[in-house]
Amino acid sequence: GRLDYGVNNAGVEGARAPTADYPLDEWDRVCGVNLTGVFLCMKYQIPHILSDTGGDGAIVNVASGNGLVGGANVSPYIASKHAAVGLTKAVALEYAPLGLRINALCTSSVATPMQDRIFGGDTPEVLAKVADMHPSGTISTPEECADAIMWLCSGAASYVTGYAYVMDGGWLAR
C-alpha cells in the first residue's frame, strides 16, 4: 500500500548505424524506452512517494556509463542515456527540498542478455574479452547492481541526490 522507492530499469540498445543512416523510427523507439520511460516512471512515482513517505524516499534511474561518454554508431543510446542522467539531476533539484532523493546508477558491462546481444554471446571467449575491457578484469552482476541500488535507497545514502553513481570496474577511469 506504500511506495517508498522507485527503481527505473528498462533500456534497449537499438540498432548500430552511423547517425546519418539511423532510421528515425528506431531513434524514437530507443529514446522512448530509455528516456521517456524514465520520465513517465518518475512523473507517476513522485506524487506517491511524497504522499506515502512525507518525502523520505528515493528513486534510482538505471542509466549507463555510456551516459557519461560518447560512442560511435549508437547515437540514440548514447544520447538517451546522457539525457536520463541529466533528467535525474534536474528532477533531483526539484524534489531535494522535499526530502526526495533521486540518483542515477551508471554501469558498464553487466552480465545480462542485453550484454550478450551487444558483444555476440556469452561464451567464455566473449566474456573474457568483455572483462578485459575493464581495469578490474571483471563483469558486474545484476546482484551487484541491486546492491548499489539498495545503498542509494537506504539511509546510508541520505545525503546523496542528483548523483550519477558510477559502477563500472574502472572502465571510465581510463
- Count Cβ atoms below 10 Å from residue 138 Cβ, excluding itself: 16
- 159: its cell numbers: 545525503
- Count Cβ atoms below 10 Å from residue 80 Cβ, excluding itself: 28
Q: Which of 5, 22, 77, 163 is flagged as catalytic?
A: 77
Residue 77 a catalytic site member: yes
Q: Which of 4, 11, 5, 55 is nearest to 29 (CA)?
A: 11
The whole-angstrom separation of Cα 101 and Cα 85 is 14
With b for 16 or more beta-carbon neighbours within 10 A and e for fewer, the 93-111 pattern comes to: eebeeebbbbbbbbbbbbb
Active-site residues: which are they?
77
